[in-house]
Every structure is written in C-alpha cells, then in structure tokens.
C-alpha cells in the first residue's frame, strides 16, 4: 500500500497508552515455544496483548521504548479508560495516555553577514540582535558573542528533537551528524514503514488527505488539523544552536563549534509521546528496541515542543534516566499567552525557558510559571499591522519550500525574515539556552544538569521592572486568564535573563550551590528535606567544606526557629498553603563561596512547583515576587480541579 493510499479514518475510538512494567513482571515471561519463536525472528511475545487479556480487553502491542516501557492500543475505549484498566494489573508500575505534542513556534564579531544590524540585511534589519551585547534597546540580548573567546561548544554534541533538518543548508551541512527518524507512523513521517535512518525534514504541512490518512493509520480521531505550509521548525532550531559561524556565509549561532544530532520526532500533525520518549533515550545513547545505536550521543537535548498538560510519569522516568547520565534537557515553556507551562517543560529536572521581548518583558505569547528556570529572547514584532515589517524576530536557517522542501541548488536554503517568514516563539528561546549550555560544558565538562541549571540562574541578569508601555503590569502566576506583555518575576519567568558570557565565566571559575529537595510536590503539614550534597567545588578546589541555610521569606508558613542551619540535609515543615524562600550558601576548601535561592510553592496542585533564583559570588538574576503571585495562588488552588489538559496545541 502506498504511503498516501490509506482509505479513510476509522469511526471507532482507539486508545493509545504507554505502559511501564515492573522488572519482575510475569507478563514478560515466555514459554519455551514463545522464546524459540522470538529467537527465530518473531517481533515479540506480545506482552501488551497478554496484559490486556488479563483485563478482558483486546489489546495490540505497539513499539517497545526500552526500560520496561511499551505502547499498547485498543479499539472502542478512550486512552484514559485503557490506562486506568491496565494500571490495575500487578505487573504494571503505571499506564498513561500516549499524547500528541506539537512544535512550540508561534507561527568578536563573526564574518557572517546576517549577524550585524545594517540597512543591507535582506532578512532582518537588526540582524542577530539576540546574540549581541545587551544594551538599553536590546535589554534581553544574551551577550553570547562575548563568550566565544572563552568557549565555542567544541567537543559538545547537542541533539535537536524536532521535525528533522535540511541537511543541504550551507550553514548546517558541515555541523550535522546523521541522526535518526524516530516517527513510527508512515502517515506522520511521510516514510513508508515510519522509522528510518534519515532525519531529513520533509515538511509538516497538512491537507485534508493527510488528516484522513493520519486518523486512518492511528484508527481514530487524533485531533490533527490542516496546516497550509511547512514550518521547517527543526531546521530553524538547529540553526540557532549551531549554524556554521565565522565562515562569511549567512548567520552565526550560539555555539559555533558544537555538533548537532537531529532526531526527527515531529511530522505531520505533530509527534506522539512514545516516539518523543524513544528519541530522548536514543539521543542520549540509551538503547531503543529495533533501532541502531547512536554513535554520537548528546550531552544536551533541545526540545522545542510540548502540550498543555502536567508532566506525565513517562517523561519523569526518562528525564531521570538522562540526568543519571549527566545529560541536560532544555525545553520551551510553551506559547499559551501567559497560561501555565506546557509539558515536558513542567517536568522535574529539565531547564524550562520562557520567551522575552527585546525590552526584557515577557513576550505576549509565552507561557509562564514556577517551573521556568530562565528566560531568553523569543522574538517580537512591535509593528503588527498588515504588511508592516516585524522588527525583532529571531533570524535563523530555513527553507523556501511552501510544502515540500526545495533543494539548496534550486534556491531552497534561506533564512527567516522580517516580512513573510518571521520566527518567534518559545521554540526559539530554548535553543539559545541549549547553545549556552554547550559552551558551559566545554568550559567545565564535569557539570551535572543540576549544576548547569544553577549556574544559568546564578549568571542571569535582573528583569526590568519599568520602561515599557503604560499599563504593562507585573506577571502573575497562571490563573486561567490570558496575560500578554508583562514584567517578569522569579515565580513566573525564572531567575532572570540569559547572559551567556557570564554563565561561561562562572562555569570556568566558581563553585556551584545546588539545592535538591524531596518530595517534588510540597504540601502543608508534610516535611520537605533540602540537601546541598549535589553542590560542586570550584575548579582547582577539592570539596565543599560548609553549608549554611537562610530563610529569606517565611511567607507566614515557615519558621526558621530550631533550624540546623549549618547542616545538609535540612528539614522544613510548612504549616499552610503559600510560598517561602530559602538560601543555601556553600564554601569550598579554597574559600570560594556560592549561593542559591529557591522559592517553594506549597499546595499548588498538579504541577512541579519549584522556582529558583540563584546567586554565585555576589552575582545573580532576579526580579521581585509580585503581590499578584500571592493572589493568584488562591485562584490556582480553586480552579485546579476544573482544568483538563488539551490533547494538542499548535503554538
């Protein structure tokens, strides 16, 4: 059957679930005959079918993701219902719906001609303003170019989990490893058989035929909708991180000498959690059943994708696997106009990134919340009238094809511009942070993900609190109401504005204070244990010799009386819902000190609720906590039971 010859969408609902089995699950045991069949080439012993039979259900086996995770499908019931049924089996650790996620795009000076601002720049008048030194006009510019004399990303590999890339783009062709296409479904991938060794971006436009084909192959209404043109989303993200720099062609990038591994997980209509999770594991060098090993495992994963729901357990597990390998995961916060952070940006252990305007205020489209670690430019236009030039988009690599790609030799390679194809969205904030992380890891390869996050926050510049248009207020915690441009706070946009050069300098010289805590979700009357044991001494020092905890703001729910302030761990007992702020200061055996400040939200349901603003050696980012944040907490708690995550979002 040809790729586009699928007849029609099924008229019955089809459940899709990711199941994680216990290590000793009996359903994985095979009879001698089954074992011989597998040895003779059978694909599996169908553990999901056997699991479903126990529950009186007809269940089909999908792909195995590795680490005891499997995809299961069944007709005639919802994903939630199938997950609920399978999770009751004693062999099952958990079962969660396999959801669809979408890209998060909202629709020394190098010799690269598009880097500088000039009247002759045919793409963006202000060039790559986001890479340059911050100033009174470009308050959120990242100061990346200043870092290149110290680090360029040499020896570091970044995986781009996205829609694939255009391998023939002249600013990317020498920077790319082969990668992999992890999309399982032919109608989504546009490749017969689904997965393949070719991570090329084939275009993600969607017409009515595509919608029918996707629904038919997945046996139900997937929520897929038509999209007139292709986004070339992965090509754009890859260019921001690692386009060829100082070659006299096109643009510069955040990490000029980094290597890029494209992992194609998004196609027509988006991408499924099961493929994204497999892509994450493969990108980090972990094994995925029936997929060749990754010969270029990445130390940084960029994920400019998501959906508006709380972090699923599947992502928590895979992020934990990657953290154990010292792999840093950077995720865009989402483009829901001031609503809550999407997942997987809401997952513990990732670095979530919110988008800023050139002036340093939150850009209208960006999501916000206490899960955010740091903010970076997301692109903004100022001019919004028909035919007006978008003034401050994020210039990056692209393709001229409206639907299918056009080859470089036929004029296909291009760059996003200010008129017909501007790039803006938190999709393009996250890769700036990924590039910064690559520079930090070249400067200090032993940094852990927690230490990277702490240093990014410690080096962040303070958010502006004035200077924008009249009527712009402070951002508040998400409460279900849209909030457009606003002044960022630590509880909404992270520690501050990304400063790449300062982050690299701290990585080269400073100790790192890292606050770890359990449990993830703080609740009234339940002890919280804080530990500084993940802190790191400065280069040249051997160990951390002292810890000191300070209660900066008890919020009326925490009292420091009786604290063991000079010990690690520290146990704190919040008495009610609310917020409090603590500081950890560490000193290493060379006398160098660093500190980390952390806001804890107690009682906010359904989210990972840490907000951190760090300082190191007297530096640090910030922005005050708004009084509106305190008011918004009550709204969050009141409406938590009413919120239901949407299946997918085109940001």
Q: So which residues are the catalytic ones?
A: 162, 233, 427
For 377, 467, 498, the CA distances from 63, given in Å and listed in that order, are: 38, 53, 39
Cβ pair 628, 486 in contact under 8 A? no
On the CB side of 143, CA atoms within 13 Å amount to: 18
In this structure, are strands 351-356 and 372-377 parallel, antiparallel, or unpaired? Answer: parallel
- The candidate with the shortest Cα–Cα distance to 448, out of 516, 379, 542, is 516
CA distance 279 to 182: 6
The strand pairing partners of 583, in sequence order, are 550, 597
Cα 643 off chain centre by: 22
Q: Where are the alpha helices (DSSP H) in 43-134?
A: 47-54, 79-86
Scored b (16 or more CB within 10 A) or e, 498-525 reads: bbbbbbbbbbeebbbbbbbbeeebbeee
Phi, psi of 600 (to 5 degrees): -120, 125
For 227, 239, 586, 593, the CA distances from 271, given in Å and listed in that order, are: 15, 21, 43, 44
Three-state secondary structure call for residue 330: strand
- The candidate with the shortest Cα–Cα distance to 268, out of 318, 303, 216, is 216
For 26, 315, 343, 346, the CA distances from 608, given in Å and listed in that order, are: 33, 13, 10, 6
Q: What are the structure tokens assigned to 331, written together?
A: 């995720």
């Amino acid at each position: 059957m040809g790729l586009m010859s699928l007849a029609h969408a099924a008229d019955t609902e089809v459940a899709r679930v990711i199941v994680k089995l216990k290590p000793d699950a009996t359903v994985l045991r095979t009879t001698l005959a089954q074992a011989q069949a597998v040895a003779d080439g059978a694909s599996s012993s169908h553990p999901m079918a056997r699991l479903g039979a126990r529950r009186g259900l007809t269940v089909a086996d999908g792909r195995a993701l590795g680490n005891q995770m499997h995809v299961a499908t069944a007709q005639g019931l919802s994903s939630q219902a199938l997950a609920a049924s399978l999770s009751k089996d004693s062999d099952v650790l958990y079962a969660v719906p396999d959801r669809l996620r979408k890209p998060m795009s909202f629709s020394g000076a190098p010799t690269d001609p598009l880097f500088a601002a000039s009247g002759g720049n045919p793409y963006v008048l202000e060039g790559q303003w986001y890479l340059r030194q911050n100033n009174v006009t470009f308050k959120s510019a990242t100061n990346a170019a200043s870092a290149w004399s110290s680090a360029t990303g040499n020896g570091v590999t970044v995986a781009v989990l996205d829609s694939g890339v255009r391998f023939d783009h002249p600013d990317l062709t020498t920077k790319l490893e082969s990668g992999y296409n992890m999309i399982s479904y032919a109608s989504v991938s546009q490749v017969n058989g689904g997965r393949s060794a070719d991570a090329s971006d084939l275009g993600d436009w969607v017409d009515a035929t595509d919608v029918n084909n996707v629904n038919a192959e997945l046996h139900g209404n997937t929520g897929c909708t038509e999209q007139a043109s292709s986004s070339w989303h992965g090509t754009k993200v890859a260019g921001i991180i690692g386009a060829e720099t100082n070659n006299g062609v096109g643009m510069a990038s955040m990490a000029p000498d980094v290597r890029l591994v494209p992992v194609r997980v998004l196609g027509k209509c988006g991408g499924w959690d099961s493929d994204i999770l497999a892509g994450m594991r493969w990108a980090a060098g972990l094994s995925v059943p029936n997929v060749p090993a990754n010969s270029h495992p990445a130390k940084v994963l960029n994920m400019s994708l998501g959906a508006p729901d709380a972090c699923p357990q599947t992502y928590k597990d895979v992020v934990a696997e990657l953290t154990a390998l010292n792999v840093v995961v950077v995720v865009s916060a989402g483009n829901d106009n001031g609503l809550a952070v999407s997942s997987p940006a809401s997952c513990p252990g990732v670095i979530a990134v919110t988008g800023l305007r050139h002036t340093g205020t939150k850009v209208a489209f960006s999501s916000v919340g206490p899960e955010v670690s740091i903010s970076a430019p997301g692109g903004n236009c100022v001019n919004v009238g028909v035919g007006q030039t978008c003034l401050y988009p994020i210039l990056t690599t692209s393709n001229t094809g409206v639907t299918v790609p056009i080859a470089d030799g036929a004029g296909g390679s291009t760059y996003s511009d200010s008129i017909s194809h501007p790039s803006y969205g938190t999709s393009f904030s996250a890769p700036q942070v990924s590039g910064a992380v690559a520079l930090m890891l070249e400067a200090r390869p032993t940094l852990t993900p927690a230490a990277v996050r702490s240093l990014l926050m410690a080096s962040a510049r303070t958010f502006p609190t004035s200077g924008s248009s009249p009527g712009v207020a402070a951002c508040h915690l998400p409460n279900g109401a849209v909030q457009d441009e606003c002044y960022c706070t630590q509880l909404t946009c992270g520690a501050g504005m990304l400063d790449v050069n300062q982050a690299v300098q701290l990585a080269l010289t400073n100790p790192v204070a890292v606050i770890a805590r359990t449990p993830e979700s703080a609740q009234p009357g339940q002890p919280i244990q804080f530990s500084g044991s993940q802190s790191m001494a400065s280069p040249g020092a051997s160990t951390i010799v002292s810890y000191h905890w300070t209660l900066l703001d008890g919020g009326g729910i925490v009292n420091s009386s009786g604290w063991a302030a000079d010990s690690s761990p520290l146990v704190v007992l919040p008495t009610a819902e609310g917020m409090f702020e603590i500081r950890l200061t560490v000193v290493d055996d060379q006398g160098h000190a660093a500190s980390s400040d952390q806001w804890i939200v107690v009682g906010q349901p359904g989210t990972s609720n840490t907000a951190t603003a760090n300082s190191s050696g007297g530096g640090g980012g910030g922005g005050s906590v708004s009084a509106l944040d305190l008011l918004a907490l009550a709204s969050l708690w009141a409406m938590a039971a009413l919120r239901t995550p949407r299946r997918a979002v085109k940001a």
